[in-house]
Amino acid sequence: MASSSARVIPGSGRSTLGEGPLWSAREGAVYWVDILGKRLHRLTLADGAVTRWDMPRPIGWAVERETQPGFIAGFDTGFAELTLDPLTIRPIGDPEPDLADNRMNDAKADAKGRIWAGTMPFSCEGDSGAFYRLDPDLSWVKADGPYCIPNGPAIAADGTWMVHTDTARGTIYRYAINDDGSLAPRTPFVTFEAEWGSPDGMTFDADGGLWVAHWGTGQVSRFDPDGRRERWLTLPASQITSCTFAGEGLDRMFVTSAADGKDDEEHAGALFEVDPGCRGLPTPRFGG
């Protein structure tokens, strides 16, 4: 079942590589990044205002903190503490100091306040990427690898398992999460068919459905808990990168996209809103 009603958010601009949409309940706002454009954006839902902050380096994601103001962010140089107005960036550490051609790409926090984040090569070629866990004490461990283009970690509502994508392989993997925070071996959960494009960012809804952005085919799909594609939404841009539930009722969905290489697409790189017909899960924050 397909639906095609999508609203372009006025003033959302044309991100080279829009990614990482994040619902901030305490601010009533959706944040997202432009990785290659080196910007962080905020859409305030109450008035539709869009605010931008230029960053000194490519920024892959930002996750809100639970006990302190601001965010933990992922740059090409690793993890950092980030605050806005005034803009301050304090490096935490680089998990890959020997891989100067890698960058952070996508991340999510879980209900235990940990961040799960992937790294990848700028070139999108080769398997130098990996999957990391950043704990509330600001220490990190490598959770899995290798990856080429890691995307969209999404954690199940009960916290016992997650999914993570390697976009380059067209596969969404499933991991059981052990009590100590380590991951069981990954197993394929969804393998994309060629006409679907490539799987990108993801999020779960409150009923256990997995919403996945399709890079290359302008869609967001819902997969049921068994991994079957049961409906999809179409958008007026081909390179769809991620999605998040937002709003007081968590019943609005915002979707990011990328304009890189798509000068012929009017709305490439915009932020969109679609009606998912369901509710999402609350957005966890980093516990440190």
Residue from 143, 99, 106 nearest 123 by CA: 99
> 85: Cβ–Cβ under 8 A, 6 or more apart, which residues?
none
Name the pairing type of β-strands 272-274 and 6-8.
antiparallel
Name the pairing type of β-strands 229-234 and 2-3.
parallel
Whole-angstrom distance, CA of residue 85 vs CA of residue 223: 39
Residue from 27, 118, 113 nearest 286 by CA: 113
The greatest distance separating any two alpha carbons of the chain, rounded to the nearest whole angstrom, comes to 49
Whole-angstrom distance, CA of residue 174 vs CA of residue 154: 10
Q: Please, are residues 66 and 113 in contact by the beta-carbon 8 Å criterion?
A: yes
Whole-angstrom distance, CA of residue 158 vs CA of residue 171: 23
Catalytic residue (choose from 34, 110, 200, 205): 200
Active-site residue, 76 included: no
Q: Please, are residues 41 and 57 in contact by the beta-carbon 8 Å criterion?
A: no
Q: What are phi and psi of 120, to 5 degrees?
A: -155, 160
Q: What are phi and psi of 282, to 5 degrees?
A: -60, 150
- Catalytic residue list: 200
